[in-house]
Amino acid sequence: MKFPPGFKFGAGTSAYQIEGAWNASDKGISIWDNALHNDPNLVSDGTTGDVACNSYHLWKEDIHIAHELGLHFYRFSISWTRILPTGFPNKISKDGINYYNKLIDGLLRKGIEPVITLQHFDLPLSIQNLGGWTNPLIADWFADYAGVVFSNYADRVKTWITINEPHMVCDLVYNFAILVPIVTEPWLGPFLCNKNVLMAHAKAWRIYDENYKQKYHGKVSIANNPIWLEAKTEDDEDLAELAREFGVGRFSDPIYSEEGGWPPAIEKLMIDYSKKQGFPYSRLPLFTEEEKKLIKGTYDYYSLIYYTSRLVRPAHEGEEPGPWFINGSKELNVILETDPRWPITDSSYILINPEGIRRQITWITRRYKNVSILITENGLGTKSAELHDTARIRFIQDHLQQILLAIKEDGANVVGYTVWSLMDNFEWIFGQTLRFGLYHIDFTDPLRKRTPRASAHYYKSIIKHHSLDVPHPSQVTRELRHSNAGSSKFSLCTLIGLITLGKLVSNSL
């Protein structure tokens, strides 16, 4: 139950989801600012990220809770328009630069390593107005932004993520318009975006590699969030493998494979399918040899995000698969299904299958030559705001157990784990109705009080003992409940809970 020496534990957040202060100082307008100010109905409870957890002002609180948990690292993202108000490098915001300087220095003073994502779903509106991720010039605009960020923080920040979840940014956005920018264009949208994201990542990686790597020895990756795809029956194994190549291979092979470029089977399939649809070219834009070379090898580790799984089977006669990836793929003629054994969560697309994380890790390990893997997100969203979050504890425990198996039984090189999220935050289209936090946020309180949940105590104990061999989650919550009987004050309850947990832990040692 022990984690390997050096294995690191962290928790994550992202700028738009926590910072608030959408127009503080000279910050420019982002696509989420713009979309939610124009149409509050995009979000289920009509909230926005205008204030969120108010981390722009309460960053000391964030450092405090990260320290209270004993985190080795804290993953947060930088708001592009806070650093570059116009989106371009003609103007650099002093206040924006200072904000992240304070956060980085504050974390380091507490011995917490900052892990920075450069772009987490939010883009400058100026760049979206020019086509966003579908305009190939975005690769240079992103590289300009990355260059400014690296030049300010590379001396202290050693772990970087260029872009969060291109799978969502490209496939979910352009096929379903569920996330901002609300643009549906399933013909070319997902695939132009796919190529441009990879080009942007590669250019940023090369800027770091050429200018900072030798001096600071940092690591840069891109955060991929595959849904683990399990064959429904043994006969579906080849199809499931093709679907994995379509899902995660399209965002990883060009970077991590020895040959570079799209997964060959997917490249061929898209050429043929596009022809059938009357296109004189592939909808998946081909790489030139030069582009292939530019992207290939632009990694220092694999940033892996895992939440859920699906079963893969061929579409039956007369069955029309929807666009990738919610229930299948027209291109592959596959249907994605849920397994009735996987419990459904309050976040409707997330069904719990902890074994999926092990299988996904093993798949990456085999395909990309035992690359070192940092799990950069994993967590449970609940509609309930309760502090005794047994389900979240179980979720973390079960996934960590599978990660340990991947390391110990399958030889995977997993170097760390990140809970999503450090605290409840603005959960995109679900607003404040879906909570992922180890810490509860009181969104009615102007001070956005941060209160630890039972899962925070549990995670803290895992970190402290570097082991899953800590009091059983149900024991932790039972003890917390018992201690809290008769009290309605959260802060008191959790304090007592903490003390009880401390006692339990020391008794069990």
Q: Is 165 marked active-site?
A: yes
Q: Which of residues 380-399 bind ligand BGC (CB under 6 A)?
A: 381
Each residue of 91-118: b (16+ CB within 10 Å) or e?
A: eebeebbebbeebbebbeeeebbbbbbb
How many Cα atoms within 13 Å fall on the side-chain side of residue 401?
12
Sequence length of the chain is 509
Instruction: Identify which of residues 168 and 385 has a Cβ nearer to ligand BGC in the complex.
Output: 168
Among 30, 93, 164, 298, contact with ligand BGC (rule: CB under 6 A): 164
Q: Which helix (H) or strand (E) holds 376?
A: strand 373-377
Instruction: Identify which of residues 236 and 377 has a Cβ nearer to ligand BGC in the complex.
Output: 377
Separation of alpha carbons 261 and 247, rounded Å: 15
Considering the complex, what minimum distance in angstroms separates the CB of residue 427 from ligand BGC?
5
Considering the complex, what minimum distance in angstroms separates the CB of residue 440 from ligand BGC?
16
Instruction: Identify which of residues 18 and 501 has a Cβ nearer to ligand BGC in the complex.
Output: 18
Q: Does 74 interact with ligand BGC (rule: CB under 6 A)?
A: no
Long-range pairs of 407-410 with CB within 8 A, sequence gap ≥ 24: 407/3, 407/4, 410/358, 410/361, 410/362, 410/365
Considering the complex, what minimum distance in angstroms separates the CB of residue 62 from ligand BGC?
16
Considering the complex, what minimum distance in angstroms separates the CB of residue 169 from ligand BGC?
10
Query: What does R_g of the chain's alpha carbons equal in angstroms?
Result: 22
Instruction: Determine which one of 113, 377, 427, 479 is catalytic.
Output: 377
Contact 128, 86 (CB under 8 A): no
| Pairing verdict, β 113-119 and 159-164 | parallel
Among 3, 9, 11, 14, contact with ligand BGC (rule: CB under 6 A): 14
Considering the complex, what minimum distance in angstroms separates the CB of residue 154 from ligand BGC?
23
Instruction: Determine which one of 113, 165, 331, 479 is catalytic.
Output: 165
Contact 180, 42 (CB under 8 A): yes
Q: Does 165 interact with ligand BGC (rule: CB under 6 A)?
A: yes
Q: How many residues bind ligand BGC (CB under 6 A)?
A: 11
Instruction: Identify which of residues 71 and 284 has a Cβ nearer to ligand BGC in the complex.
Output: 71
Burial class (CB in 10 A: 0-12, 13-18, 19+), 201: buried
Q: Which of residues 414-433 bind ligand BGC (CB under 6 A)?
A: 420, 427
Separation of alpha carbons 401 and 75, rounded Å: 22
Which segment (57-65, 162-170, 191-199, 327-335) binds ligand BGC by CB under 6 A? 162-170
Instruction: Identify which of residues 86 and 338 has a Cβ nearer to ligand BGC in the complex.
Output: 338
Considering the complex, what minimum distance in angstroms separates the CB of residue 485 from ligand BGC?
33
How many Cα atoms within 13 Å fall on the side-chain side of residue 91?
10
Instruction: Identify which of residues 287 and 306 has a Cβ nearer to ligand BGC in the complex.
Output: 306
Burial class (CB in 10 A: 0-12, 13-18, 19+), 204: buried
Q: Does 47 interact with ligand BGC (rule: CB under 6 A)?
A: no
Which segment (146-154, 163-171, 357-365, 443-451) binds ligand BGC by CB under 6 A? 163-171
Among 33, 122, 377, 479, contact with ligand BGC (rule: CB under 6 A): 377
Considering the complex, what minimum distance in angstroms separates the CB of residue 174 from ligand BGC?
16
Among 48, 54, 175, 225, contact with ligand BGC (rule: CB under 6 A): 225
Q: What is the largest CA-CA distance in the chain?
A: 72
- Find how far residue 346's CA is from the centre of its chain: 18
Separation of alpha carbons 48 and 57, rounded Å: 17
Considering the complex, what minimum distance in angstroms separates the CB of residue 223 from ligand BGC?
7
Q: Which of residues 428-487 bind ligand BGC (CB under 6 A)?
A: 436
Instruction: Identify which of residues 260 and 381 has a Cβ nearer to ligand BGC in the complex.
Output: 381
Q: Which residues contact 290 (CB under 8 A, 6 or more apart)?
A: none
Which segment (36-44, 164-172, 268-276, 454-462) binds ligand BGC by CB under 6 A? 164-172
Instruction: Identify which of residues 291 and 424 has a Cβ nearer to ligand BGC in the complex.
Output: 424
| Pairing verdict, β 73-77 and 373-377 | unpaired
Separation of alpha carbons 101 and 283, rounded Å: 42
Separation of alpha carbons 286 and 260, rounded Å: 12
Contact 230, 311 (CB under 8 A): yes
Instruction: Identify which of residues 161 and 270 has a Cβ nearer to ligand BGC in the complex.
Output: 161
Considering the complex, what minimum distance in angstroms separates the CB of residue 377 from ligand BGC?
6
Which positions touch ligand BGC (CB under 6 A)? 14, 17, 164-165, 168, 225, 377, 381, 420, 427, 436
Task: Give the catalytic positions in this structure.
Answer: 165, 377
